């Protein structure tokens, strides 16, 4: 089976983790965590970084740190991971979902403006599948309207947006270091900010509200979301490989782009660029243009030992919401179209050019049989 993804660890990553083990630098209080935070925040042009146990809790902490109240609205795309919705709901705010662009699969300022109200307090801007949202325009809009901007860069490690790095926008930006990300620690996450007050608050919330003065006498009921020293050691090493990883994924994406040129009547490919920003191909997504054929195609690929993964299922269509919920009546056609018809195919260092050609040939075979 050609897997959709497979984490890539280099010898230097293994050496870094082994060194941490030998030195007993394994806990969340290891100096390696501070080193990882400093190097990562510097890499993405931020003053401060707070390492956490995964990308989902990074979103939780970020939303929980901006004093949202009941009735406050947070705008986010419907076409994204469930963690974004969960974080907004757990913050006590009301999630307001917007649609995305059919070509870039990302939220735009126009999408936001359609659902913006006087109750809007924040925007959760998500970069999806290796392409950016309209970060410059959305950032300017938030500044003009006095809104808090939180940037989810979990799928955008290394994107450069008009000479600004993804992860450098808004009050806070969040990252995931899950095994399929460009920088991985297996599990892990990071929150970046330039605001020292927010930085200190995030550290307290991550660490059970421990204080040096009165360690076990707590003023708040916070969480243990710490990242361990071994993961930090791997992360420090992985930072140095980011551009190498992006270059490889870009080459692989370009190979797929050329291979699938003759199937554009049947499949929508990801954009090579969006507003001048090159796709860094976190994944290579395909959208089948004929409705209700996706499952037949992915089943066929599976029978031929090619693993796929479906696109995000729209947040407003989640089982979490009862049929009577107002969320069920939201009309977001692009998110629904992508959720029904999109999927992505194997990418990564475990996938050879020969594998890519094999995958394309099998998709050709499917369409020959089913046209």
Nearest to 136 by CA among 106, 172, 161, 111: 161
- Residue 297 backbone phi and psi in degrees, to 5: -70, -45
- Reported as a single tens digit per residue, the pLDDT across 11-40 is 999 999 999 999 999 999 999 999 999 999
> How many angstroms separate the CA atoms of 309 and 302, rounded?
11
- Identify the pLDDT of residue 212: 75
> How many angstroms separate the CA atoms of 27 and 170, rounded?
30
Domain range for residue 200? Answer: 11-98+105-239
Tell me which residue has tokens 């009050």: 171
- Identify the pLDDT of residue 324: 65
- For residues 192 and 255, membership in a common domain is answered with no
Count of the separate structural domains present in the chain: 2
- Identify the pLDDT of residue 247: 96
Question: Edge-to-edge strands of the sheet including 284-288?
Answer: 267-268, 284-288, 342-345, 309-310
- Identify the pLDDT of residue 211: 83
Take residue 168 and report the two structure tokens written for it. Answer: 């450098």
- For residues 156 and 226, membership in a common domain is answered with yes
- Identify the pLDDT of residue 122: 98
Residues in the chain: 371
- For residues 219 and 320, membership in a common domain is answered with no
* Spans of the chain, pLDDT less than 70: 291-292, 324
Q: Which of 197, 224, 239 is the last residue of a domain?
A: 239
* CATH assignment of the domain containing 362: 3.90.1150.10
DSSP H stretches of helix in the chain? 11-22, 31-43, 55-64, 82-90, 109-115, 135-145, 196-206, 229-239, 242-259, 294-303, 333-341, 353-370
Element (H, E) at 96: strand 94-98
């Amino acid at each position: 089976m050609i897997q959709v993804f497979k984490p890539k660890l280099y010898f230097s990553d293994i050496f870094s983790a082994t060194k941490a083990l030998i030195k007993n630098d394994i806990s969340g209080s290891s100096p390696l965590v501070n080193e990882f935070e400093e190097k990562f925040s510097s890499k993405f042009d931020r003053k401060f970084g707070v390492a956490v146990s995964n990308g989902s809790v990074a979103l939780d902490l970020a939303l929980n740190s901006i004093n949202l109240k009941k009735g406050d609205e947070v705008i986010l795309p419907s076409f994204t991971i469930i963690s974004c919705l969960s974080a907004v709901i757990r913050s006590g705010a009301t999630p307001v979902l917007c649609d995305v662009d059919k070509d870039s699969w990302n939220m735009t300022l126009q999408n936001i403006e359609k659902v913006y109200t006087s109750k809007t307090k924040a925007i959760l801007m998500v970069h999806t599948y290796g392409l950016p949202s309209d970060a410059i325009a959305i950032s300017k809009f938030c500044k003009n309207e006095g809104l808090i901007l939180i940037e989810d860069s979990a799928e955008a490690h290394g994107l450069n947006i008009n000479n600004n790095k993804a992860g450098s926008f808004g009050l806070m930006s969040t990252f995931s270091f899950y095994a399929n990300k460009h920088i991985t620690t297996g599990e892990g996450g990071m929150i970046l900010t330039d605001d020292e007050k927010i930085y200190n608050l995030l550290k307290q919330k991550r660490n059970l509200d421990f204080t040096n003065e009165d360690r076990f006498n707590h003023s708040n009921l916070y969480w243990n979301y710490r990242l361990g020293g071994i993961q930090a050691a791997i992360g420090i090493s992985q930072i140095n490989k980011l551009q190498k990883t992006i270059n490889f994924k870009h080459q692989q994406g370009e190979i797929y782009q050329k291979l699938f040129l003759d199937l554009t009547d049947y499949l929508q490919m990801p954009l090579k660029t969006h507003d001048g920003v090159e796709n860094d191909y976190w994944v290579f997504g395909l959208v089948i243009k004929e409705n209700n054929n996706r499952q037949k195609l992915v089943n066929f690929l599976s029978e031929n030992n090619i693993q796929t993964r479906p696109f995000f299922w729209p947040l407003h269509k989640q089982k979490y919401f009862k049929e009577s919920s107002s969320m069920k009546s939201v009309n977001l056609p692009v998110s629904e179209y992508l959720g029904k018809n999109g999927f992505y195919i194997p990418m990564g260092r475990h996938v050879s050019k020969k594998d890519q050609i094999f995958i394309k040939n099998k998709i050709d075979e499917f369409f020959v049989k089913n046209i």
